[in-house]
Amino acid sequence: MLQCSIVLVGNNSDWMQVSTALLLHAQAGQLLPVLRLFGAFSALCAVLLTFRPLLTGLLRAGWLLLFPRLSLEQRQGRRQMRDRRLLARMMASSTGPSMAAELQAMAARQ
């Protein structure tokens, strides 16, 4: 029986080498394993496409188990701290007294 091995190289002829390998297997009487592999791959793709919403829901639930969402108060506190740091940075880099006064007025409103 004919034995062949093809090493794929990172160039444009990869698909041609794969198709050549399939033809060599078919000629050598080894078409059944290739068809089984193709059938198994097709079945796996069909199952994944069919149950995609369920799988994405399970992945999101697992993600929330590992990284729970912050409470509303925690998110508001983080946003306020980020805004305060931004205003402090803007005040430090302001060029004139009128700009600094305007930034202080913005900080006082919050």
What's the whole-number mean pLDDT along residues 74-81? Answer: 93
The 3-state DSSP composition of the chain as helix, strand, coil percent (nearest 5) reads 75, 0, 25
Amino acid at site 101? A
What's the whole-number mean pLDDT along residues 82-98? Answer: 79
Q: Give the pLDDT confidence score for residue 26 in this predicted structure.
A: 60
Q: DSSP assignment, residue 47?
A: H
pLDDT above 90 for 19: no
Give pTM, 2 decimals: 0.43
pLDDT above 80 for 97: no
pLDDT above 70 for 84: yes
Cα 85 from Cα 103, distance rounded (Å): 12
Q: Give the pLDDT confidence score for residue 109 in this predicted structure.
A: 72
pLDDT in tens, 57-69: 999 999 999 999 9
Amino acid at site 56? T
What's the whole-number mean pLDDT along residues 10-19? Answer: 61
pLDDT above 90 for 82: yes
